[in-house]
Structure 1
Amino acid sequence: MEKIKIAIVDSGIDLKHPKFKNLEENVVCWNILNQTKSAEDQDLGNGKGHGTGIFSIIYDHLHDNLQDFTFYIVKIFDELGHTSEDYLIKAIEYCIDNKVHIINLSLGIEKKSPSKELHDVCERAYKQGIIIIASASDNAVATYPAYFPFVFGVTGGIISLKKDYGIIENSPIQFIGKGNLQRVADYNSNYAFVAGNSQATAHITGIVSSIKRGNIDWSFHKIEKHLFENGKKDIRVFTNRFMQYVDPKGWIGYRIKPSNEEKIKILEKFFSFKHRFSWMKKIAIYPVSNKEMKAFFYFADLCPFEIVEVYDFPRFGARDKNIEINDTNLEINWDLNENSFNDVDTLVIGHPYDTAIELNTKFADKIINKCVEKKMNFFVFDKLLYLELKNKLKDYPATIYYPNDFTTLMDLTKLLNFDSITIPSLSVVGVTPQSGKFTTQLTIKKVLEKEGYSIGWLSTEPQGELFGADLCLPIGGEINSLTLGSWPYFLSSMISGIEKYKKPDIFLTGHQSGLVQQYKQHFQIDTLNSINFLASAQPDAVVCAINPAYAADQLERVVIILKNLFQLPILFFTLSKRSISPQKMNSESIHLKNEMLDENEWKRLADEISNKYGLPVIDPLDESQNHIIVERITNFFKAND
């Protein structure tokens, strides 16, 4: 009887695992990268292998008849756990040359349209009678080779028995395998609990291999017909919501990544600040009284661009006539003249229509029209204004930039590798809105850079990149579309990219407020986003920024969450001297009460917090306290090195 040849294209195998006794004569190993017979499985960055677990599932389906099978273990992952489409194509070519019957691909490439090379090699395998069984993405997006019509595409479902499977009619993904949590063999003679489409694919391979054993002459379409006639239609497909119960690294790391040359270009495109903002040198700011612009009053020296002109609302704008920026006294303008923007290439524009005052609205239109006339660049905080400008100025010759470009960030994370973050990481957590968290981030960045440290920074504020942030992440809005299981991959890919390109000494990220519900009767989606963000950023420690108005009731709840849910140490607190809180007016409208604490009141509150939690409390704008920042951060990371 001719043996059935099954190829598992993956990260290798641990043949010394006690589960696979006396199996060597049934196994052929080949390493595509170095063209040797060494195909040992490895840690792919999450303490687990992958190929060993996939093989162990197939093994469980066939162990009573192992003498009828030969297994080809084809390794395509390098020592860092990375691979490429080129290696996948070469692996399939190897399988064709060795006349295998079945190829298991518990991996895939997420893209809207596949390359011609991948299409052609899979079609060639199909025409030679080889059945390719490939995994769909856990993110429910188009994945190749699984989406090819001459490949069995597989997703995961909730299934009790390994021999059971589901069918999906009129879909590029035809089959549902057992994808729920299951125990498999792992590399280094271990076992692991895993879940996902990779495991479901291995189960379908085991089922198909059993069919092929008794019917070696059955074609792709005859086996497909048999599977559809005997499969179940009531299997529940699990979604990413299931992934919150398992280690997300167990399913995220096995997408096909670009080659090293492509990777370098991607890293430069996204993480070279000079490359990304080569179009922007001399800027004008408007409106300077927007809260997002306040940082220019204190941290203009962190801005890598020359600030030339400053504008504000003509009504209810800044009270001051001048602003001092980098030891230069700049006039705040409330109107335009013939010399306006003569020495400026970019308008940094915040939220010019927030006041709903006609005079201010007309002035905003006037400024925008003037900049368009001069063909200037726009750096826009407001998504609606950005879309308006993009739609209105179809063939505009200059740049219209929006820092919270969620689509671009998603494209980035699909290309980058998911790797463990190795540098020290610190998050600034805002206890409530208006807590001074962005000011705290800028202070930490400025103080540590002055001490000679290189800082990697992921900002959650639209103005972050104007002060040297490496990337801006849009918390709220579009990012709400992320499923729970996607957060760790999305965020860790960006942090990993910054680490690889910039090689900083410490990583800093902001964190939007909302870690606890402010109002019991109103559910806030921000709370879920805040929890997801902090869990996915995986900081080693946090700094809490406090708005004095909420120090009494909100702070304790946040501290409990940080310690008990995240097990994160707090290094120190920053306490703003500005107290901002919503006040209900007689008309039932809400007004923000904004007042400054005097020195005595601030010190009383700071001492109260410090005594309660045994931690320093500082004013982030008081330079005399900068040494506390340096000592607390450096001592913590030295102690935990």
Structure 2
Amino acid sequence: MKIPRIAIIDSGISSDQKDSVYKINVLGKCRSHIDKIGHGSVIAQIIKNYSPNVLIRCIKITDDDEIQEEFLCQALKLLLDDLDVDIVNISMGIVVSEMLDEISDLCLQLRSKGVVIVSAFDNDGAMSYPAALPFVIGVDTSHRCKLINQYEFVQSDIINLRAFSEVLHIKIGNKVFSVSGTSYACAIMTAKVAELLYSGNVDAANILHKLEEDAAYVFEKKEYEDVPEMPNINKAIIFPFNKEMNALLANQDLLNFEVVDIFDPVQLGNIGRRLSDILIGDMEKDFSIKNIFKADWSLDFDGVILGHTREISETLNFDFKDYIVKQCIKYNKILYSFDNVIAPKELTYYVPQVLDINVPNNRFGKLYQVHCPVLGVFGTSSKQGKFSLQLKLRRQFLNSNYKLSQIGTEPSSLLFGMDAVYPSGYDGIIPKKSQDSILVLNDILNKIVVADTDIALVGAQSGANVYSCQNISLFPLETFNLLLATQPDAILLCVNTYDDDEYIYRTIMILENMINTYVIALVVSPVAHKYIDSGLSRQTFQEEKSKVKNFMKHLEEQFKKKVFMLDFEDDTSDIFEYCIKTLGEGSIGDDL
């Protein structure tokens, strides 16, 4: 039988263990193989205790419990050059990785050479690397595993094993170490892998299959699909003319398609009106609103942007969504619908939604931590211009050549080129359970933040304060879900001129105490709203600037924070520059 060789990448070994290893490497800033914290020594002893026939190679990369990615990469490169081991044990994890691509590539190369890598997940429950890589056996703990040889198998590309979580008493020389956690569970599972290889009945290629066979319990993989991508649209018409469409028309330079016409039902009184007479600010292209029943569907536009139609359909007793769907099928147009659509196969369409099947499973609550700063836009209520602020910031970041990753919560988000949409607003189709919302939002954020991302931008829909506990519908649960899932490093808080000091203070405290974040500035919305036509239409007007400025001065004195006004005619460069300056100071946003 071949004796398995195991490389332990850790904090070294004790002087009592030096003669029990066949090779020692000291990397990074370390000067000696001697283990100063006892971690690597215990890992080596556990492996020897439960797989006594193995040969151990010690690669020391740290003198404390912190792991530096560059030294881990050095160790992996060394093993790749030598190729003298069968198993690599990494009983440590990186939660925020800036060298993930390199670590992933090195682990994949080792695995392709037949080397089995066993790595521990973070002890605090976070997603960590290299354990979370699909070609690494990732080890977590389970309180259900009360015996040392018990473990659970997870059918997943991320978490593979959940093992012994109780206290181990390990003797090294004259000392006894009492330890518990994922690091030591990882060592136990490394010993298990070594014993399987030593038996000669299993090789590296089918080790996971054998581990699944021997497991005390198997968590089966559930059905899962990635959130689908939207089809490409070049030219589109818009229907109806409502609040959601206002953002599209006021920010046409950010759209990833060309708007060619705008339509509305004749009963709403908008036919013939020009956008420039209705919307605040300059527009790239002005339009006259037209009657939807007089649209020429034979023109060369290839897409239709269909906003929410439930209310106008109920009020006017006509199914506008069904009409648009039939026209799209007849004239071979792509449909982007804010509302859900049940349509025949011949219709090419996209609905911004996140379904239960899109929620990651078998994650056991583990969340990703991204490497770049996250900026959040939150508010004290709904209808404050939070999405408008996000669009203005998006324009500033892109024009300043920052690599921006962005999640939008409006159904129109993808039309502006944002990386992902989570439509948590009006009639949005998203998971009902908060835990599922947090998992999928966190997973989305991790997927869109790539190696060269400079900053991520997220924004909430409603307020972040509980102003009444009389009904569950009044709790801003989706705002809290977004906050917990994305964990912004800094927050811009939108406030209204009618918000009192106590309410603003409580909102700040909720945000800053729920997670480790800081409200860096307040942004005052100068816009008031007046509803007409039984709530179907809305007129907006700006408060007097003198009133807004007096309120801003009061807020600065009261909260000792920077205060800005959200001016729809301004480019908001002052807010953008302050965000860059603030994120560039201290521990967050070093790249900025």
Shorter-chain-normalised TM-score: which range?
A: 0.5 to 0.7
1:478 positional shift: 2.5
Match of 2:344 in 1: 393
Alignment of 1:620-635 (within 5 A): 620-623=566-569, 626-635=572-581
Q: How many Å separate the matches in 1 of 2:15 and 2:51?
A: 11
Once the two structures are TM-superposed, the CA of residue 525 in structure 1 deviates from its matched residue by 9.8
CA distance in structure 1 between the aligned counterparts of 2:540 and 2:4, rounded to whole angstroms: 76
Distance (Å, rounded) in 1 between the aligned partners of 2:530 and 2:184: 51
* 1:332 aligned partner, one-letter code: I
Q: Counterpart amino acid of 2:320? A: F
Change (3 A) 1:62 1:377: closer
What is the CA–CA distance in structure 2 between the aligned matches of 1:572 and 1:174, rounded to whole Å?
43
- Aligned mate of 1:312, from 264, 284, 290: 264
Partner in structure 2 of residue 577 of structure 1: 526
| C-alpha RMSD of the superposition | 6.0
Tell me which of 491, 498, 512 is aligned to 2:461: 512
The 5 A counterparts of 1:99-118 are: none
Which residue of the partner structure matches residue 287 of structure 1?
240
Cα pair distance change 1:64/1:494, threshold 3 Å = closer
Q: Say which SS state the counterpart of residue 493 (structure 2) adopts.
A: strand
Q: Could you tell me which of 449, 453, 463 is aligned with 1:496?
A: 449
**Distance apart, 1:277 and its partner CA:** 7.0
Name the SS for the 1:348 alignment partner.
strand
Task: Mark the CA change 1:78 to 1:576 in structure 2 (over 3 Å): closer, same or farther.
Answer: closer
Paired residue for 1:13, among 9, 16, 25? 9
Report the equivalent of 1:323. Answer: 275
Q: Structure 1's 441 and 410: CA in aligned 2 closer, same or farther, altered over 3 A?
A: same
State the Cα deviation string for residues 524-559 of structure 1 (Å, max 9, x = none): 697554345334434332211124454555422111
Q: Does 1:164 align with 2:148?
A: yes
Q: 1:563 aligns with which of 494, 512, 530?
A: 512
- CA 331–562 in structure 1, closer or farther in 2 if over 3 Å, else same: same
Is the Cα–Cα contact under 8 Å of residues 420 and 444 in structure 2 kept in the other structure? no
CA distance in 2, matches of 1:428, 1:176: 38
Query: Do 1:314 and 1:359's aligned partners in 2 also have CA atoms closer than 8 Å?
Result: no
The C-alpha deviation readout for 1:160-188, integer Å capped at 9, x for no partner, is 97x5354779999998622479999xxxx
Q: Which residue of 2 aligns with 1:263?
A: none
**Distance of aligned partners of 1:283 and 1:82 in 2 relative to their CA distance in 1, 3 Å threshold:** farther
Identify if the C-alpha distance between structure 1 residues 68 and 484 changes in structure 2 by more than 3 Å, giving closer, same or farther.
farther
> Within 2, Cα distance between the matches of 1:489 and 1:39?
37
Q: Deviations over 1:316-354 (max 9, x none)?
A: 475872224845432212332362461311101121123
Question: Which of these residues, 561, 576, 585, is aligned with residue 615 of structure 1?
Answer: 561
Q: Distance in 1 between matches of 2:560 and 2:121?
A: 51
Task: State the match for 2:316 in structure 1.
Answer: 359
> Could you say what secondary structure the match of 1:426 adopts?
strand
| Corresponding residue for residue 347 of structure 1 | 304
The structure-2 alpha-carbon separation of the partners of 1:26 and 1:437, relative to structure 1 and needing over 3 Å to count, comes to: same
Which of 293, 298, 302 is matched with 1:336 structurally? Answer: 293
Change (3 A) 1:481 1:607: closer
Distance in 2 (alpha carbons) for counterparts of 1:404 and 1:53 = 50
Matches within 5 A, 1:121-132: none
Aligned pairs for 1:470-549 (under 5 A) are 470-475=419-424, 477-478=430-431, 480=433, 482=435, 486=439, 490-497=443-450, 500=452, 503-504=453-454, 506-523=455-472, 527=476, 529-548=478-497
- Give secondary structure in 1 for the equivalent of 2:4: strand
> Relative to structure 1, is the Cα distance of residues 357 and 489 closer, same or farther in structure 2, using a 3 angstrom cutoff?
closer
Aligned counterpart for 1:376 among listed residues 320, 330, 333:
333
Residue 354 of structure 1 aligns to a residue whose secondary structure is helix
Give the aligned residue type for 1:306. E
Question: Using a 3 Å threshold, how does the CA distance of structure 1 residues 82 and 344 change in structure 2: closer, same or farther?
Answer: farther
Separation (CA, whole Å) in 2 of partners of 1:542 and 1:627: 17
- Kindly indicate whether the alpha-carbon contact (under 8 Å) linking 1:3 and 1:69 is maintained by their aligned counterparts in 2: no
The answer to whether the Cα contact below 8 Å between 2:264 and 2:271 also exists between their aligned partners in 1 is no
Take 1:442 and 1:344, find their aligned partners in 2: how far apart are those partners? 25
Distance 1:360 1:575, change over 3 A: farther
Pair 280,634 (structure 1): closer, same or farther in 2 beyond 3 Å: same
Aligned counterpart for 1:421 among listed residues 364, 371, 390? 371
* 1:598 is aligned to 2:549: no
Aligned twin of 1:586: none
Letter in 2 for 1:164: I
Alignment correspondent of 1:253 = none
8 Å CA contact 1:341–1:371 kept in 2: the answer is no
Compute the displacement of 1:366 (Å).
Answer: 2.3
CA contact (8 A) 1:54 1:202 kept: no
Q: 1:514: Cα distance to partner?
A: 4.7
Please give the alpha-carbon distance, in whole angstroms, between the structure 1 residues aligned to 2:470 and 2:48: 57
- Does the CA contact (< 8 Å) of 1:57 and 1:206 recur in 2? no
Aligned length: 511
* Higher share in helix: 1
Tell me the equivalent position of 1:32: none
Q: Equivalents in 1 of 2:574, 2:458: separation in Å?
A: 19
| SS of match in other structure, 2:289 | strand
Partner Cα separation in structure 1 for residue 401 and residue 196 of structure 2 = 65
* Residues 580, 593 of structure 1: 8 Å contact kept: yes
1:262 match: none
One-letter amino acid matched to 2:148: D
Q: Is the 8 A contact 1:549 1:580 kept in 2?
A: no
CA contact (8 A) 2:384 2:495 kept: yes
**Distance in 1, Cα, partners of 2:133 & 2:394:** 45
- 1:361/1:381 Cα in 2 relative to 1: closer, same or farther (>3 Å)? same
Give the Cα separation in 1 of the matches to 2:284 and 2:193: 74
SS of residue in 1 equivalent to 2:275: strand
TM-score, normalised to structure 1, is 0.61
Tell me the residue number matched to 1:203. Answer: 188
2:388 corresponds to: 439
Q: Tell me the distance in 2 between the aligned counterparts of 1:618 and 1:65.
A: 63
Question: Structure 1: how far apart are the matches of 2:38 and 2:436?
Answer: 26
Whole-angstrom distance in 2 between the partners of 1:496 and 1:145: 16
| CA 1:481–1:106: 2 relative to 1, 3 Å | farther
Query: Which ranges of structure 1 fall in alignment gaps of 5 or more residues?
Result: 30-37, 43-51, 108-121, 185-190, 221-226, 239-265, 271-275, 583-588
Offset of 1:520 from its aligned partner?
1.7
Quick one: structure 1 residues 80 and 512, their matched pair in 2 at CA, closer, same or farther if it must change by over 3 Å? farther
Instruction: Tell me the distance in 1 between the aligned counterparts of 2:284 and 2:155.
Output: 65
2:384–2:496 CA contact under 8 A, matched in 1: yes
Q: 1:553 to 1:297 in 2, by over 3 A?
A: farther
Unaligned 5+ residue runs, structure 2?
30-36, 61-67, 93-110, 171-176, 203-210, 220-225, 277-281
- The Cα of 1:629 is off from its aligned counterpart by 1.8
CA distance in 1, matches of 2:564, 2:117: 61
Distance (whole Å) between structure 1 residues aligned to residue 498 and residue 537 of structure 2: 11
Pick closer, same or farther for the CA change 1:335–1:595 going to 2, 3 Å: closer
Given that 2:359 and 2:439 are in contact with CA atoms closer than 8 Å, whether structure 1 keeps it comes out as no
Distance 1:517 1:621, change over 3 A: same
Q: Out of 300-309 and 61-70, give the one that drifted further.
A: 61-70
Give the CA deviation at 1:307.
0.9
For 2:141, the aligned partner's letter is G
SS at match of 1:23: helix
* Other-structure match for 1:23: 18
Give the aligned residue type for 1:426: L
The AA in structure 2 aligned to 1:571 is I
- 8 Å Cα contact 1:4/1:212 also seen in 2: no
